[in-house]
Structure 1
Amino acid sequence: MTHRQIMEALSGLLLGMFVAILSSTIVSNALPQIITDLGGGQSAYTWVVTASLLAMTATTPLWGKLADLFSKKLLVQIALVIYVAGSVVAGLSQSTGMLIACRVVQGVGVGGLTALSQVILAAMIAPRERGRYSGYLGAVFAVATVGGPLLGGVITDTEWLGWRWCFYVGVPFAIIALLVLQKTLKLPVVKREVKVDWAGAFFISAAVSLLLVWVTFAGDKYDWMSWQTAAMVGGSVLLGAVFVLVESRAAEPIIPLRLFRNRTITLASLASLFVGVAMFAGTVFFSQYFQLARNESPTMSGVLTIPMIAGLFVSSTVSGQVITKTGRWKAWLVSGGALAAGGLGLLGTIRYDTEYWHIALFMAVLGLGIGMMMQNLVLCTQNQVDPSDLGAASSTVAFFRSLGGAIGVSALGAIMAHRVTSYVKEGITALGPDAAKAMQQSGAGGGIPDMDTLPGPIRTVFESAYGHGVGDVFLYSAPFALLAFVVTLFIKEVALKSSTVTGDKK
């Protein structure tokens, strides 16, 4: 394909990728309003985010494997249709249960778009040239990931739109992407007999789902150390073991276990798991920090995260261009790991009254680090696999990144809730018995308080608690980014190839 043909087809992929990631992040600043309007509680708040991540994580390997068996173009179009259907019905939701179910459907479509974008890119472009185009994909990922909360805030704050448009806004983009791909994406299809490993798909979905259910409710519905924890973790491990057994015997496994004989794939998957924790922690908890610790509007809380968008955008684009010219990628991975760990460590020091320019600098460092790692982990994996395993290998790395994000959001959210409660109790106790009475009268004892209704000193206690609590979350995320950095040190650099494979050949 010529550069022009690649860019035409890539425009449809980038649009699809944009709406996929946008749907995962756009609700973060709108969630308080959504849950209030639908009459939901704290568990519903968590599940609106987790349900989409869970479905995306569980289905990513399946989409990747299907890409090795069927037409990639048809699959990405099916994923877009599933996304549109889930989004339209989500916007019509009348209860939190209905919304969570629709988020699962959205997540299935998003899993397909995330996995297939990487696979189609690899099918069109040689590894040596892929860095430049992966940079475009990374830049779109960056803007949608961190720009989603900003757009969600603006939509929620606009009276004549309202939160339902957070789900509708991606639909026109998805339809345009569908039409563009139909016209521009031309990958020859080789028909062959296929066998889909449905048993493997079921067991990996069940194992991941049970693990995420445990992480979501541990520390809230039951203690971290309890019989429920033992049952769920044990059940997840058992299901995982059954999955491995099924994969070892399947004719067309979802995740070919032989891939992990390749050290690069194993290490890249592990690094992606840790990067996922760091990446999603950065996007989900910033909105809570700015709205609850600094009393900013949903729109402004999105605007204030622009330094992170800028860091991600610049590092994704620049690293892609330089990798294309040199064929070397390891230095970017290692540097990205160091910057991500440093950025999260610095963000761990923030409090409710930290000067904004400090926070902006810390966010930019984190953004630069994640941008250098995210796409390049997929790139180094694709460079070392057989063409027939391209889809499975790409989606395996994406799977581990999503898994890290899903577990990270659930676990860190539970930790933050516990820390905030602890800090509020300490602050109220320090103010004296009159403050405790005033807090009870204001109804701020349970759930997320309306800061504007709280008396001055109590409001400061809550703002301080949320500021410190979010800082703790970033501090707990930093070791995961550090682990990703350590893992990348052991990945052996292999110069990018200058040839590619087209079509859907096995």
Structure 2
Amino acid sequence: MTTAPPSASTPTRSMSHREVLQALTGLLMGMFVAILAGTVVSTSLPVIVADLGGDQTAYTWVVTATLLATAVSTPIWGKLADLFNRKLLVQLALVIFVVSSAIAGFSQDTTMLITLRVFQGLGAGGLAALSQIIIADIISPRDRGRYMGLFGGVMALGTVAGPLVGGFLTDTIDWRWNFFIGIPFAVAAIIMLQMTLRTSTVRRDRVRIDYLGMVLLAIGVSLLLIWVSLAGDSFAWASVTTLAMVGGAVICLAVLIAVELRAAEPIVPMSMFRDRTFSLAVLASVSVGVAMFGTSVFLSQYMQLARGATATESGLMTIPMMTGLFVVSTIVGGLISRTGAWKRYVVGGSVLLTVGLVLMSTIHYDTPFALVSVYMAMLGGGVGMVMQNMVLVVQNTAEPSRLGAASSGVTFFRSLGGTVGIAVLGSVLADTVVNEMERRQSELLAAVATDGSGGAAAMQRLSDGTVPAVRDLPEALRGVVESIYGDAVAHVFLVAAPLGLVSIVATALLPNLPLSRQTSAERAGSPPQGPELDPQRVGDDVRR
């Protein structure tokens, strides 16, 4: 059955300048909530997992569960945005986030927490995809650069404030408040969007939802990501379980491709991969996802387990990276709007990202923090130059009728890269720590001998695989454990570094097409969803 041709767009009154800026504020607040959901627990994870009696696998899964749900749901939200009212969808995503966050704060064990993190990820996937899509309806690709400061600022604020606020709440009140802190922002975003956002909805007499595609996508990607997360820990890489999970994932994804080629409204239109810009942007986004999400998780472990910082201190110690992201994305965004040139910046960002990963692989537990800060700033700057611009470049060439699918496609693969990256790098970290503890067994035993029964009890906890509370360890044992974790985290960055080379090649091969001065609504011939006057004046309003 085919989808009936769309009829005329629903008429809407044009939004004024003030209304556009208010709507943009609501969308940015939604983006802030999505980022906050992924970062607020990063510095608190050692405390949360220890309090709930979890191990390194649980530590990794608290983060991976959210990214997994975000990755799987993002293309679904994106396709729904091409079929239904985008305003309603983004508000629904916020409601899902609010409810799941409230319940997550009452978790009694890691299983319950991980389950609620899945629902948080579903809401965050909708926010990540729909915010980008609606912004494309309001601001043209060429003019969007001058707003990059706002995007970068929200991203930096959420990524910095999340670990900082989360650490502060954990140290002063209780880690459970990490899940309550985003609720007021989500409620405010819902209200603001309801009052200010008006979108043009293309009416369809019949809408065909690709339910089979949704199910196949969810099962195939989930099986693959769960296998990557658990292999080597819960079961061997070469095992019957691996064969079953990988085989099931391959079959589901193969059937998905066949279904999508025939579907009237495919969740993931296969024709998009024939577009060189989309395919290369997807490839680059995978490596950016690893750098963005992986570093935020493992940097917190480095700060707390290798440098003995508290949760609050580790949040403060990641500020150099986010400052680099904010400053560089703001400057580059302005240059792109002024000159229209974008390719030199995304290629340069890929190079900077790769150099940052390599330099981070040289850190130890006693590396001067000023030097670590420089490395983090370089890594953040590279991410800031590439991440948002990949979405921009794809939206610039995407057909308006497939804007949602194309935008969410890039976001999906970025989230996928982050999810796989955290799972794989988490496994690498765990294996490296175990190997280092075995290699330095004599040092650990000597440290235990100096502290008697206290050292023996601490050593037993380490042997059980429990994430240690380094600040509570005996002094002699603490120094050895910090050294082990410092080297292990550095090894994680070394493993991730080759992905930076992939991003360099992908961005270098992107077609250097000029940026359009029309919004997606204008290209589609819909009633304007943004101001009717020159977008330059909107930029002037923002600066004022």
Give your verdict on TM over 0.5.
yes
For structure 1, the residue ranges without an aligned partner over 5 or more in a row are none
- The one-letter amino acid of 1:175's match is V
Report the CA distance shift for 1:378/1:456 in structure 2 as closer, same or farther (over 3 A): same
- Is the 1:203–1:239 contact (alpha carbons within 8 Å) kept by the matching residues of 2? yes
Which residue does 1:69 correspond to in 2?
83
Deviations along 1:203-256, one digit per CA (max 9) or x if unpaired, are 111111111111111121122233322322222111111111110111000111
Change (3 A) 1:502 1:434: closer
Matched residue type, 2:386: M
* Correspondences of 1:35-434 after superposition (within 5 Å): 35-158=49-172, 161-192=173-204, 193-430=206-443
What amino acid is the match of 1:95?
A: D
* Code of the aligned partner of 2:78: G
User: 1:451: how far off?
Assistant: 2.5
SS of 2:397's equivalent in the other structure is coil
Q: Normalising to structure 1: TM-score of the pair?
A: 0.96
> Residues 434 and 99 from structure 1, CA distance in 2 versus in 1: closer, same or farther, beyond 3 angstroms?
closer
Question: What amino acid is aligned across from residue 500 of structure 2 in structure 1?
Answer: A
1:428–1:458 CA contact under 8 A, matched in 2: no
Is 1:456 the equivalent of 2:475?
yes
Distance 1:268 1:445, change over 3 A: same
User: Aligned residue for 1:487?
Assistant: 506
- Measure the CA separation in 2 of the matches of 1:367 and 1:399: 21
Structure 1 contact 311–365 (Cα < 8 Å) conserved:
yes
| Residues 88 and 433 of structure 1: CA distance in aligned 2, closer, same or farther (over 3 Å) | closer
Per-residue deviation, 1:151? 1.4
Q: Is 2:457 aligned against 1:445?
A: no
Q: Is the 8 A contact 1:53 1:107 kept in 2?
A: yes
Shift, 1:316, TM fit: 1.7
Q: Provide, for residues 295-318 of structure 1, a one-character-per-residue CA deviation record: whole Å limited to 9, x for no partner.
A: 011000010111001001112212
7, 10, 22: which one aligns with 1:8 = 22
CA distance in 2, matches of 1:136, 1:204: 33
Q: What are the superposed Cα offsets for residues 386-407 of structure 1, whole Å, 9 maximum, x if unpaired?
A: 1001000000000000000000
Match of 2:520 in 1: 501
Residue aligned with 1:186, SS: coil
Deviation at residue 435 of structure 1 after TM alignment: 4.7
Cα distance in 2 for partners of 1:434, 1:56 equals 43
**Are the counterparts in 1 of residues 447 and 477 from structure 2 also a CA contact under 8 Å?**
no
Contact 1:428–1:436 (CA<8 Å) still a contact in 2?
A: no
Give CA deviations for 1:274-329 in whole Å, capped at 9, x if unaligned. 11111112111111001010101100001011100100111221221111111111
- Structure 2 runs not aligned, ≥5 long: 1-14, 527-544
Q: Tell me, yes or no, if the aligned pair for 1:424 and 1:461 is still in contact at 8 Å.
A: no
Deviation at 1:449, TM superposition (A): 2.3
TM-score by length of 2: 0.89
- Say whether the 8 Å CA contact 1:64–1:395 is kept in structure 2: yes
The CA deviation string for residues 97-129 of structure 1, in whole angstroms up to 9 with x for no partner, is 222221111111000000001000011111111
Confirm or deny: 8 A CA contact 1:146 1:283 kept in the other structure. no
Structure 1 residues 214-223 or 114-123, which shifts more?
214-223
Q: 1:105 to 1:251 in 2, by over 3 A?
A: same
TM-aligned CA deviation for residue 501 of structure 1: 3.0
How far apart, CA to CA, are the structure 2 residues paired with 1:145 and 1:204?
29
Q: What residue in structure 2 maps to residue 476 of structure 1?
A: 495
Identity of matched residues, %? 52
- Bigger radius of gyration among the two: 2
